Amino acid sequence: MLGIGLSGFAIALALALILTPLVKKFAVRIGAVDVPNQRKVHTRIMPRMGGLAIYASFTVGLLLLLPWLPEGMLSNHDRHLIGALLTGGTLIVLLGSLDDKFDLSAKLKLLIQIGAACIVVFGFDVKINLLNVPFGEAMQPLGEWISIPLTIFWIVGVTNAINLIDGLDGLAAGVSGIAIGTILVMGIIMGNSAVILLSTVLLGSVIGFLFFNFHPAKIFMGDSGSLFLGFALATLSMLGFKQITVVSFVTPLLIIGVPLSDTFFAIVRRWIQKKPIFAPDKGHLHHCLQQLGFSHRKTVLIIYGIAAFFGTCAVIQASISNTGLGNWITFIVICALVFLLQIGAELIGIVDKSRRPVLDFIGRFRMKPQTESRGK
């Protein structure tokens, strides 16, 4: 299967290298361009809609490979999963492309995203349907009144998380590529043919596009790309497991740790500042790193490193989850990562540059011995 996956990677990569310049010309011709303003970092008009090249490379590459797969390699369930990704992804790309050209309202985009998630859930019966009680052994079925909204929330949330980090050249594409690579490694470890096939083809599409999108970018992926990659990651991160379970969500949360944590901190920041949750600002992770003096390219590479760290943790966590101490180790890893995230957020000021509760608390303990020694 890995050999077929490598062929799919090469085909998608070649298609992306060919199609991206064509999409760039098309975007300029129809006026799908990004105009600089005070919130954006680029200083010249840039064509967007690059997501069309990613989507077309992925779709064409996948359709070219499917007829050559050995009979029986993909189960009916696998084919349903592929159908869900292609059908829902097509709707998402259409939405993103229209937004790249016409700047649609946030409410309309959210409604269509929910519709795409419903296609996955109701059209192909892909949903989170089991609950693993922490530190327990039994898998408990979830009622549809929980599993359906939980799955829709996950898909819509991850879709928008990738969209929110698309603020620097190559950032969203690179972080998505690292997440896809992580899913691919896990698919290889578990021998999941559908995940290997989808991940290799999608990774080829993203890397091919990244040749034109890394700093200095020649084209932006736009909402057509960020929304599609977010939707694909949300679906793939669930498909990486034989059974889609809540306990398994620890691993997907780590795989997409950078965009999800950035989104979480953005929501907290805007709530503290009493601003609308969907109001754009310049407080995201990449903005904060640039304000600390890092260049455009170094900022992107730092975030790549953070994403790779999360991906490594995801693979390790998934590898130990079936051991006797799996639940305890997972719990410890989560606590450590949450602590590190909070420290990092306070250091760079991603929520509030004046509020550092954990650092201030630690600082009190560091100052106390010095004060006592002076008193003696």
How far CA 350 is from CA of 81, 172, 197, in Å, comes to 37, 18, 37
DSSP element (H, E) containing 139: strand 139-141
Mean pLDDT of 127-134: 59
Where do we find the tokens 């009190």? 364
- Residue scoring higher pLDDT (243 or 232): 232
269-320 confidence digits (pLDDT tens)? 888 888 887 777 888 899 899 989 999 999 999 999 999 999 998 888 777 7
- The answer to whether the CB of 128 falls within 8 A of the CB of 244 is yes
Please give the residue that has the higher pLDDT: either 53 or 348: 53
Band (pLDDT 50/70/90 cuts) for residue 327 is: low
pLDDT of residue 240: 47
> Using CA atoms, how far apart are residues 286 and 169, in angstroms rounded to an integer?
11
Q: What is the DSSP string of 264-317?
A: HHHHHHHHHTT--TT---S-SHHHHHHHTT--HHHHHHHHHHHHHHHHHHHHHH
The CA-atom distances, in angstroms, between 186 and each of 2, 215, 251, 272, 310 are 13, 30, 10, 38, 14
How far apart are alpha carbons 129 and 24 in whole angstroms?
42
Integer Cα distance of 88 and 35 in angstroms: 29
Q: Could you report the per-residue pLDDT of 65-75, keeping only the tens digit for each? A: 998 888 878 88
| CB 209, CB 173: distance < 8 Å | yes
Alpha-carbon distance of 198 to 58, in angstroms, equals 8
**Res. 10: pLDDT tops 60:** yes
Element (H, E) at 335: helix 326-348
Q: Which residues, other chains included, contact 246 with Cβ-Cβ below 8 Å and sequence gap of 6+?
A: 128, 130, 131, 132, 142, 150
Task: Quote the pLDDT of residue 40.
Answer: 60
Flag whether pLDDT at 355 surpasses 70: yes
Share of the chain above pLDDT 90, in %: 48
Domain count within the chain:
1
pLDDT given at position 220: 95
What's the whole-number average pLDDT of the chain? 85
pLDDT beyond 80 at 328:
no
Average pLDDT over residues 4-30: 95
Compute the distance between CA of residue 207 and CA of residue 148 in angstroms, rounded to an integer: 33
* 250-259 pLDDT tens trace: 677 788 889 9
Quote the pLDDT of residue 87: 96
Give the per-residue pLDDT at 115: 96
> In the numeric block, which tokens belong to residue 187?
């698919």
Least confident of 44-53, 141-150, 184-193, 205-214: 141-150
Name the pTM for this structure: 0.89
DSSP3 helix / strand / coil % (the chain, rounded to 5): 70, 5, 25
Q: Which residues, other chains included, contact 195 with Cβ-Cβ below 8 Å and sequence gap of 6+?
A: 183, 184, 186, 187, 236, 239, 240
Question: Each residue of 137-186: pLDDT tens digit?
Answer: 445 555 677 888 988 999 999 999 999 898 899 999 999 999 999 999 88
241 has pLDDT over 80: no
Name the least confident of 31-35, 219-223, 360-364: 360-364
Distance of alpha carbon 105 from alpha carbon 15, whole angstroms? 32
Range of the domain at 70: 2-375
| Cα gap 166→262, rounded to integer Å | 11
Alpha helices in 31-170 (DSSP H): 51-65, 76-102, 106-118, 124, 144-164
- Averaged pLDDT for residues 11-18: 98
- Closest to 58 measured CA to CA, from 243, 221, 253, 256: 221
92 has pLDDT over 90? yes
pLDDT, tens digit, for every residue of 111-126?
A: 999 999 999 999 988 8
